[in-house]
């Protein structure tokens, strides 16, 4: 064995890669293939599939009912990304411009909440936001600031709030990393060349932090699009996203092929978004 490896050094690399490759093949490539192929099969009565080819599932995906849910999911994911960026950029900028010691403390503070289970944190929001018994509405009403509960729960607002809360660090960290690498000398050079602060930002800081912004946006957009727990809990059973529809198809309707078709569509959209990401970052890499 050792002799063989010494004679064929390239086999060493394959040997080292083997565990990862087997893992990917067994738990990623094969399931992916199953999901995509199920989309083209007829459903079994109690879940599963029967081996009969059909395009019906694919056609149903474009039914206005599902398409509108799908577009709403994209809309919510975009809103989430937008607000994460709006909050995350200044935060990332602030952390990146602190002295190194403070910076570590702040990064730690950013991550500490995430040591708690995601489900528990989402339920915590539930107790705050619930329409009639939520802490916020109860407090505001007992203080006499409002007479009837604010619509804080079971709508787009509560879902986007929950998602922004959940994915904010994924936006902040890449932006922080990009700004951390930024050479302060470039900012001085820009102001030396007659650029006031606002334009230093627009012409130098923003374009150079763009790779971080794009990476952060992808890291927020993709999981938001497929979100399941947050809309299930904070949507109050009324507002659904694609993740909930898919889970319903598998668990409630026992329609695996249709659930697979919806999943495939969503993966297609995510793949598309990722391709855009790679294209724009490779452009940036050429620029940087």
User: How many other C-beta atoms can be found within 10 angstroms of the C-beta atom of residue 255?
Assistant: 19
Closest CA relative to residue 203, chosen from 191, 219, 216: 191
Tell me the CB-side half-sphere exposure of residue 237, using CA atoms within 13 A.
1
185 binds another protein (CB under 8 A): yes
From the list 1, 2, 4, 192, which residue makes contact with another protein (rule: CB under 8 A)? 192
From the list 193, 251, 253, 275, which residue makes contact with another protein (rule: CB under 8 A)? 193
194 binds another protein (CB under 8 A): yes
147 binds another protein (CB under 8 A): no
Task: Please choose, out of 97-105, 193-201, 251-259, 269-277, the segment that lies near another protein by the rule CB under 8 A.
Answer: 193-201
**Burial environment of residue 235 by CB neighbours within 10 A (0 to 12, 13 to 18, 19 or more):** buried
17 binds another protein (CB under 8 A): no
- Region label for 48, one of left (φ > 0), alpha (ψ between -120 and 50) or beta (otherwise): left
179 binds another protein (CB under 8 A): no
Shortest distance in whole angstroms from residue 201 CB to another protein: 13
From the list 204, 232, 242, 269, which residue makes contact with another protein (rule: CB under 8 A)? 204
195 binds another protein (CB under 8 A): yes
281 binds another protein (CB under 8 A): no
Complex with another protein: residue 30 or 189, whichever CB lies closer: 189
**115 secondary structure, DSSP code:** G
Residues 6 or more apart whose CB falls under 8 angstroms from that of 114 comprise: 169
The alpha-helical segments, DSSP class H, found in the chain are 2-7, 9-24, 30-38, 56-61, 64-96, 100-111, 118-129, 135-142, 156-180, 184-192, 197-200, 206-225, 229-234, 242-251, 256-287
Shortest distance in whole angstroms from residue 286 CB to another protein: 8
Task: Please choose, out of 83-91, 203-211, 214-222, 266-274, the segment that lies near another protein by the rule CB under 8 A.
Answer: 203-211
Q: From CA 154, how far away is CA 95, in angstroms rounded?
A: 34
Shortest distance in whole angstroms from residue 92 CB to another protein: 18
Task: Please choose, out of 6-14, 103-111, 197-205, 234-242, the segment that lies near another protein by the rule CB under 8 A.
Answer: 197-205
User: How many other C-beta atoms can be found within 10 angstroms of the C-beta atom of residue 129?
Assistant: 23
Binding site for another protein (CB under 8 A): 183, 185-186, 188-196, 199, 203-204, 207-208, 284, 286-288
């Amino acid at each position: 064995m050792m002799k063989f490896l010494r004679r064929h050094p390239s086999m060493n690399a394959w040997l080292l890669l083997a565990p990862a490759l087997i893992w990917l093949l067994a738990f990623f490539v094969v399931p992916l293939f199953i999901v995509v192929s199920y989309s083209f099969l007829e459903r079994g009565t109690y879940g599963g599939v029967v081996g009969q080819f059909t395009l019906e599932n694919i056609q149903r995906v474009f039914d206005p009912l599902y398409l509108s849910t799908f577009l709403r999911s994209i809309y919510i994911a975009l809103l989430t990304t937008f607000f994460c960026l709006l909050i995350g950029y200044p935060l990332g900028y602030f952390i990146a411009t602190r002295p190194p010691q403070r910076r570590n403390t702040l990064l730690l503070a950013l991550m500490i909440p995430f040591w708690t289970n995601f489900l528990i944190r989402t339920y915590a929001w539930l107790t705050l936001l619930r329409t009639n018994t939520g802490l916020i509405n109860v407090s505001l009403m007992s203080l006499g600031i409002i007479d009837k509960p604010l619509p804080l729960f079971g709508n787009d607002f509560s879902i986007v709030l929950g998602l922004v809360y959940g994915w904010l660090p994924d936006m902040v960290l890449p932006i922080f990393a990009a700004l951390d690498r930024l050479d302060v000398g470039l900012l001085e050079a820009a102001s030396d060349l007659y650029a006031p602060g606002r334009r230093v930002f627009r012409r130098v800081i923003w374009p150079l932090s763009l790779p971080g912004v794009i990476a952060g946006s992808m890291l927020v957009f993709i999981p938001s699009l497929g979100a399941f727990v947050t809309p299930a809990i904070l949507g109050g059973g009324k507002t659904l996203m694609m993740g909930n529809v898919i889970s319903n198809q598998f668990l409630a309707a026992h329609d695996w092929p249709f659930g697979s078709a919806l999943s495939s569509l969503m993966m297609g959209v995510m793949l598309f978004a990722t391709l855009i990401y790679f294209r724009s970052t490779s452009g940036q890499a050429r620029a940087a």
